Chain A
Amino acid sequence: MSNAEWPLWEVFIRSKQGLDHKHAGSLRAADAEMAIENARDVYTRRSEGVSIWVVESKNVYASSPEDNASFFEPSDSKIFRHPTFYEVPDGIEHM
């Protein structure tokens, strides 16, 4: 008997109100069709979604944690990139 594991899939679910698919988790399945069915059974049992995407995990390329310092920290010191310095004219609410 083969002990090979099924490939890993990342599951994205769009909720009733949502416009975008959000990452829900991962699971194992023999192929894409089974991954969709397993995702239906594992992640939408409590009416979480109206649409499912699955992507085989090996096809997701991720940034490396080692790069975090050079990737993300420089923006921490550049608060001027946030639009917080405009003067809001009188009479404008909810800004």
Chain B
Amino acid sequence: MTHNEALFKYIIRIGDNSLILGQRLSEWCGHGPVLEEDIALTNTALDLIGQATSLLKYAGEIEGKGRNEDQLAFLRYEHEYLNCQLVELPNTDYAYTLARQFLFDHFNYLMYQELLDSEDKQLAAIAEKSLKEVTYHRRRSSEWMIRLGDGTQESHERIQAAMDDIWEYSGELFTGDDIDQMMLDSGIGVNLTKIKAEWHKSVAEVLETATLEKPKDDFMQLGGKQGKHTEYMGYILAEMQYMQRAYPNCEW
């Protein structure tokens, strides 16, 4: 694998995380439990789609085959998406949605912090812009963990069950492969081992305040970063890609 191929995939992975989670969150638009939450979650979805736009546009430039951000977002096949499996999990209910958001926000925040010092100046610039948004996402989902965990008995039980259920998807965030290693060696990518330690610390702090039990690291689901996805991914893409597949090159 050449340096450029690795860089392309590295950026696609970050961009696809934002794209797929943004698409997932947008399913809540118009269905939020209360109006305020509907607006807040849709804001987050828009932030993530915006970050994906910047990242996929840049990935297209790196690739140099003339693909723009829209073609990369809407016209790839499932195995060509390189997001982690965590972000494609279904919304299920508000507890699952926020548990997923909480685990991802803490990772995303730490990753962008590290990317500020990336040797790739374009990536560092995207990180700087995204970090302001992600800082708020992290704050918001953390506050929700505390409200739900330390709320009523029912809210406590449901958020704990959601956390226990999706925890096995958190390990992929920190599992590196040869692409991660190449990017780390060239000063572009982040040190996943370092982020993992910080993530466990900050997640544990919030969960403790929330009176929630931090699940144990056990078997972890892997493969999303290499293009192997859960059964849910195809449905997301079917909905997301419908317009571009049915009406090629349509614009609005």
Inside 8 A of B40's CB, which chain A residues have their CB? 37-38, 41-42
Contact of A33 among B35, B136, B143, B154 (CB under 8 A): B143
Digit string of B35-56 for contact with A (CB within 8 Å is 1, else 0)? 1110110010000000000000
Inside 8 A of B36's CB, which chain A residues have their CB? 27-29, 38, 41-42
CA distance A27 to B34 in the complex (A): 10
Inside 8 A of B34's CB, which chain A residues have their CB? 6, 28
| Minimum C-beta distance from A92 to chain B (A) | 50
Interface: B140 (CB within 8 A): yes
Q: Which secondary structure dominates chain A's binding surface?
A: mixed
Digit string of A36-60 for contact with B (CB within 8 Å is 1, else 0)? 0110111001000000000000000
Inside 8 A of B2's CB, which chain A residues have their CB? none
Q: Is the CB of A1 within 8 A of B43?
A: no
Interface: B92 (CB within 8 A): no
| Minimum C-beta distance from B60 to chain A (A) | 29
- The answer to whether A41 and B43 touch (CB under 8 A), given A2-B152, A28-B34, A28-B36, is yes
Q: Which secondary structure dominates chain B's binding surface?
A: helix
Inside 8 A of B228's CB, which chain A residues have their CB? none
| Minimum C-beta distance from A37 to chain B (A) | 6
Q: Interface residue count for B (Cβ, 8 Å)? A: 15
CA distance A49 to B139 in the complex (A): 19
Interface: B214 (CB within 8 A): no
Within 8 A of B (CB), among A5-50: 6, 27-31, 33-34, 37-38, 40-42, 45
Interface size class for chain A?
Answer: 10 to 19
| Minimum C-beta distance from B235 to chain A (A) | 28
CA distance A7 to B40 in the complex (A): 18
Interface: B67 (CB within 8 A): no
CA distance A16 to B127 in the complex (A): 26
B46's closest neighbor in chain A, by CB? A45
Inside 8 A of B140's CB, which chain A residues have their CB? 37
B40's closest neighbor in chain A, by CB? A41
Inside 8 A of A27's CB, which chain B residues have their CB? 35-36
Inside 8 A of B151's CB, which chain A residues have their CB? 30
Inside 8 A of B43's CB, which chain A residues have their CB? 41, 45
Digit string of B10-45 for contact with A (CB within 8 Å is 1, else 0)? 000000000000000000000000111101100100
Q: Is the CB of A30 within 8 A of B154?
A: no
Inside 8 A of B154's CB, which chain A residues have their CB? 1-2
A5's closest neighbor in chain B, by CB? B34
Given A27-B36, A37-B40, A41-B39, 16 extra CB contacts under 8 A: A1-B154, A27-B35, A28-B36, A29-B36, A30-B147, A33-B143, A34-B143, A37-B140, A37-B143, A38-B39, A38-B40, A40-B136, A41-B40, A42-B35, A42-B39, A45-B39
B interface list, Cβ under 8 A from A: 34-37, 39-40, 43, 136, 139-140, 143, 147, 151-152, 154
Some 19 contacts from A to B, beta carbons below 8 A apart, are: A1-B154, A2-B152, A2-B154, A6-B34, A27-B36, A28-B34, A28-B35, A28-B36, A29-B36, A30-B151, A31-B147, A33-B143, A37-B40, A37-B143, A38-B36, A38-B37, A41-B36, A42-B39, A45-B43
